[in-house]
């Protein structure tokens, strides 16, 4: 199956004030929303071909006991050794298949009408590894609402983890164009925009494990 990366997210401190640093560089912020039943909220930066989402836990009790409890957002937010990253995939434009791209389980969030839901990678119980979501109900032929987007293209995204890909999910997810899952000593996301043609870079550590190049 050919996968298409829709967007990535980083679990950050409540309010995601670190996003303001991107706005100071001239990037534009898209609309914010919340995730009922999941206990999370977000801020979002849209690019020409994808989106960088900043998620935080706003209701720890809901995160632990709601439909999204097996995503362990509350536990990930409290554990400094946990991966704060996630990747959301959709079918490629030329390949809508009933098969799932990696082993996992069905997640029916409150914010989607049944039976529309996510296929979540089987590695979700391993807090050391990034979460992987696949949305099989995405229809490439149906246009979606277009929020304000920054003109840059996300040309490469690297997600590093000290884990060993316990369920084989990360290797399968890495088949998506433009995404690299790396085995390294620290959790880190590196995003390259427009092939780094301007030569600029910003390292957001220690506030969050992100390096942005454009």
pLDDT tens digits for range 92-139:
866 666 789 999 999 999 999 999 999 999 999 999 999 999 999 887
pLDDT of residue 197: 97
pLDDT of residue 209: 98
What's the pTM value of the predicted model, to 2 decimals? 0.94
Q: DSSP for 120-188, please give it.
A: EEGGGG-TTS-EEEE-TT--TTS--------S--EEEEEEEESS--TTSHHHHHTTSTTEEEEE-SS-E
Instruction: Check pLDDT > 80 for residue 143.
Output: no
Only one residue has tokens 């433009």, namely 178
pLDDT of residue 114: 94
Query: In the chain, helix, strand, coil percent, each to 5?
Result: 15, 35, 50
Q: Who's near 184: CB < 8 A, 6+ residues apart?
A: 160, 161, 162
- CATH number for 201: 3.10.180
Give the mean pLDDT of the chain. Answer: 94
Residue of 169, 71, 65 lying closest to 55 (CA atoms): 71
Range with the poorest average pLDDT among 12-16, 145-149, 151-155: 145-149
Q: What is the pLDDT of residues 67-92, one digit of tens each?
A: 999 999 999 999 999 999 999 999 98
With bands split at pLDDT 50, 70 and 90, how would you rate the model's confidence at 206? Answer: very high
How many separate domains does the chain show? Answer: 1
Q: What is the domain extent for residue 208?
A: 3-213
């Amino acid at each position: 199956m050919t996968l298409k990366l829709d967007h990535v997210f980083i679990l950050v401190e409540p309010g995601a004030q670190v996003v303001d640093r991107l706005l100071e560089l001239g990037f534009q912020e898209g609309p914010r929303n919340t995730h009922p039943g999941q206990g999370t909220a977000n801020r979002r930066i849209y690019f020409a071909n994808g989106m960088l989402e900043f998620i935080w836990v706003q209701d720890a009790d809901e995160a632990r006991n709601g439909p999204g409890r097996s995503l362990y957002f509350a536990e990930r937010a409290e554990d400094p050794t946990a991966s704060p990253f996630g990747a959301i995939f959709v079918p490629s434009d030329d390949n809508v298949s009933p098969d799932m791209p990696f082993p996992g389980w069905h997640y029916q969030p409150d914010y989607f009408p049944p039976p529309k839901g996510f296929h979540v990678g089987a590695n979700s119980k391993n807090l050391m590894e990034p979460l992987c979501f696949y949305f099989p109900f995405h229809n490439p032929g149906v246009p979606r609402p277009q929020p304000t987007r920054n003109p840059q293209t996300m040309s490469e995204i690297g997600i590093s983890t000290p884990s060993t890909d316990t369920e084989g999910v990360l290797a399968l997810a890495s088949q998506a164009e433009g995404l690299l899952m790396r085995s390294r000593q620290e959790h880190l996301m590196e995003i390259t925009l427009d092939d780094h043609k301007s030569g600029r870079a910003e390292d957001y550590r220690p506030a969050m494990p992100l390096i942005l190049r454009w």
